[in-house]
């Protein structure tokens, strides 16, 4: 009787190759949200927030980065960025708890 090897499920590999423009939007958004959260008494690591936005935008749900940066209210900005940060599953590349960003790219 031969022992068959059980293959582990293939792990999804996240894409981190944002365009220079998208990378700049994401960096600016992360910095703004972390600064706003600090003013409200909550602390986040800007590198982690930036990474989560990047993973979401490139692998899970495209975001309207321009709209989120320029037109979104502070409430929408905090909802989307911190909601992504709190609900992202970096292994499965999904947003948990039925979270949906308000400023998602519809194209």
Helix (H, G, I), strand (E, B) or coil at 89: strand
The string over 72-98, giving b where at least 16 C-beta atoms fall within 10 Å of a residue's C-beta and e elsewhere, is beeeebbbbbbbbbebbeeeebebeee
pLDDT digits (tens, 9 = 90+) for 67-97: 999 999 999 999 999 999 999 999 999 999 9
Q: How far apart are CA 11 and CA 79, in angstroms?
A: 29
pLDDT digits (tens, 9 = 90+) for 34-80: 999 999 999 999 999 999 999 999 999 999 999 999 999 999 999 99
Q: Are 60 and 93 in contact (CB under 8 A)?
A: yes
Q: Parse the chain into domains and list their residue ranges.
A: 20-95
């Amino acid at each position: 009787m031969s022992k068959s090897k059980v293959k582990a499920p293939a792990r999804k590999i996240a894409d981190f190759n944002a365009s220079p423009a998208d990378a700049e939007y994401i960096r600016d958004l992360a910095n703004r949200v972390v600064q706003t959260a600090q003013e409200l008494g909550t602390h986040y690591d800007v590198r982690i927030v930036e990474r989560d936005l990047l993973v979401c935008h490139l692998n899970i749900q495209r975001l309207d980065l321009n709209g989120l940066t320029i037109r979104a209210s502070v409430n929408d900005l905090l909802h989307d960025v911190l909601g992504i940060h709190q609900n992202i599953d970096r292994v499965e590349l999904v947003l948990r708890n039925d979270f949906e960003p308000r400023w998602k790219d519809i194209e």
